[in-house]
């Protein structure tokens, strides 16, 4: 049994927008959410730039009592889920419907601030007591569980932690739940809130973070550029409503796109070094499942982290899959604007691809003023493109550990 799977709702909280429309409009305008981080621990950081979600007031969405048990990453997830459910006009009124609806989310660090606060209390302040709800706040599956409770999703509730591909895999596996008949509706996405001192110092130690641009901090993330120096950490969440196409049509839902291809696989070669062979294998298998031709893909949202090795390997992988046609495909890295949201990044970028498809518009790779000769595809430098007929899009997520995921969507007809 296989069924068609469509996307009927979108929700996002990101460094460049707190609704899908704001998010995509800012991407098209080349707006950057990267900036000097305003945090009390800033002087302890060597790399002081990040892509935070600013002007997010939890009390606008939750009561004080609720906030005692909902961590920042869960707050992001719940707000994004609410947007998506409202956008889809989704109602699950019967127990039978609730039994066939689930939630798959991705997150790398879960409640990072709760974990760090606990360490500070125990080891720096010598306080024998920490927050009573620390375990429930910190656990990676807290966001998915909170969403499940709020919307009475009584089907599968799973959280994926596969580094940068976490939320792309969450969406892909949710797609399979519907495609193969286990569920009729799935909420899927990812959430991350790791802009803490400990997490940022750990990334500093790995020497993968971008150096601050000396003229403009907001231009520090430079995917595919010769002068790129690394990634910029971001935070936020994105949630999509996936639905059996027949169900969605029957209730008259707006359909953004049809999810037609997905694959996840492992490089099985190195814990940090990206591998074009593994990436290209994942893209090929997703394309094979989609039934589309190479020429059907009109836009690729690249993983594009702005690391020296990563951008070259992804360029090679795209060439290995698309051959001569690779030069004709617009490819962009929106991380140049919203940063790298780790466990949420796959969902945020797939949403960017879906909105590109809906609007026939391609967001740019900003800060690309000095192209790397080894990154020689059409990386849509600096300015978005409007009025570009699109029928299908691809989104790549390639993670530490060699965990690759590729999602493909097309117009629903």
One domain for residues 240 and 268:
no
**311 lies in a domain?**
yes
303 is catalytic: yes
The reply to whether 183 belongs to the active site is no
Give me the domain span that covers residue 388.
Answer: 262-410
Name the packing angle between helices 345-359 and 20-29 (round to 10°).
Answer: 80
Domain count along the chain = 2
Q: Is residue 256 part of a domain?
A: no
* Residue 164 among the catalytic residues: yes
Alpha carbons 294 and 310: distance in angstroms, whole number = 23
Same domain (yes/no): 189, 323:
no
**Integer Cα distance of 145 and 140 in angstroms:** 10
Which residue in the list 108, 183, 303, 338 is annotated as catalytic?
A: 303
Q: What are phi and psi of 394, to 5 degrees?
A: -125, 145
Q: Which of 108, 164, 221, 264 is catalytic?
A: 164
Of the candidates 349, 344, 394, 8, which has an alpha carbon nearest to the alpha carbon of residue 159? 344
Q: If you search the block for the tokens 């039994």, which residue do you land on?
A: 99
pTM, two decimals, is 0.97
* 70 in the same domain as 190: yes
Same structural domain, 51 and 145: yes
pLDDT truncated to tens, each residue of the chain (413 aa)? Answer: 699 999 999 999 999 999 999 999 999 999 999 999 999 999 999 999 999 999 999 999 999 999 999 999 999 999 999 999 999 999 999 999 999 999 999 999 999 998 888 888 888 888 888 888 888 888 999 999 999 999 999 999 999 999 999 999 999 999 999 999 999 999 999 999 999 999 999 999 999 999 999 999 999 999 999 999 999 999 999 999 999 999 999 999 999 999 999 999 999 999 999 999 999 999 999 999 999 999 999 999 999 999 999 999 999 999 999 999 999 999 999 999 999 999 999 999 999 999 999 999 999 999 999 999 999 999 999 999 999 999 999 999 999 999 999 999 999 99
Say which CATH number the domain at 104 has.
3.40.47.10
Residues 294 and 266 in one domain: yes
Pair (163, 304) in one structural domain: no
Instruction: Identify the active-site residue in 108, 183, 264, 340.
Output: 340
Same domain, 208 and 334: no
Same domain, 245 and 279: no
Q: 32: which 2 tokens?
A: 């950057």
Same domain, 283 and 147: no
Both tokens of 214, joined, read 């000396």
Q: How many helices (H) and strands (E) does the chain have?
A: 14, 12
214 within a domain of the structure (yes/no):
yes
151 shares a domain with 64: yes
């Amino acid at each position: 049994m296989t069924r068609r799977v469509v996307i009927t709702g979108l929700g996002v909280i990101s460094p460049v927008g707190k609704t899908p429309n704001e998010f995509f409009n800012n991407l098209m305008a080349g707006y950057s959410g990267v900036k000097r981080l305003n945090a009390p621990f800033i002087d302890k950081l060597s790399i002081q730039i990040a892509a935070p979600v600013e002007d997010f007031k939890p009390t606008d969405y939750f009561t004080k009592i609720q906030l005692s048990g909902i961590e920042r990453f869960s707050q992001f997830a719940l707000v994004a889920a609410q947007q998506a459910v409202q956008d889809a006009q989704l109602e699950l009124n019967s127990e039978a419907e609730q039994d066939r609806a689930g939630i798959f989310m991705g997150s790398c660090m879960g409640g990072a601030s709760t974990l760090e606060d606990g360490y500070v209390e125990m080891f720096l302040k010598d306080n024998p007591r920490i927050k009573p709800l620390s375990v429930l706040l910190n656990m990676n599956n807290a966001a998915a569980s909170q969403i499940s409770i709020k919307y009475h999703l009584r089907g599968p509730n799973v959280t994926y932690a596969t580094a940068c591909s976490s939320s792309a895999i969450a969406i892909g596996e949710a797609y399979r739940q519907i495609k193969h008949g286990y569920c009729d509706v799935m909420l899927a996405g990812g959430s991350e809130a790791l802009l803490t001192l400990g997490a940022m110092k750990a990334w500093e130690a790995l020497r993968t973070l971008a150096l601050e641009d000396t003229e403009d901090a907001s231009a520090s993330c430079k995917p595919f550029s010769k002068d790129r120096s690394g990634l910029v950490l971001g935070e936020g969440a994105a949630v999509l409503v996936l639905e059996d196409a027949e169900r969605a049509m029957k209730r008259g839902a707006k359909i953004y796109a049809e999810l037609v291809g997905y694959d996840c696989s492992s490089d099985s070669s190195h814990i940090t070094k990206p591998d074009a062979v593994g990436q290209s294998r994942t893209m090929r298998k997703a394309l094979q499942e989609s039934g589309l031709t190479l020429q059907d893909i009109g836009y690729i949202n690249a993983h594009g982290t702005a690391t020296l090795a990563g951008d070259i390997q992804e360029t090679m992988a795209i060439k290995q899959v698309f051959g001569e046609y690779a030069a004709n495909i617009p490819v962009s890295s929106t991380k140049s604007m919203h940063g790298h949201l780790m466990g949420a990044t796959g969902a945020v970028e797939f949403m960017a691809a879906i909105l590109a498809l809906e609007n026939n518009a391609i967001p740019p790779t900003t800060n690309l003023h000095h192209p790397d000769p080894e990154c020689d595809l059409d990386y849509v430098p600096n300015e978005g493109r409007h009025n570009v007929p699109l029928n299908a899009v691809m989104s790549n997520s390639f993670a530490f550990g060699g965990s690759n995921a590729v999602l493909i969507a097309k117009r629903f007809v």
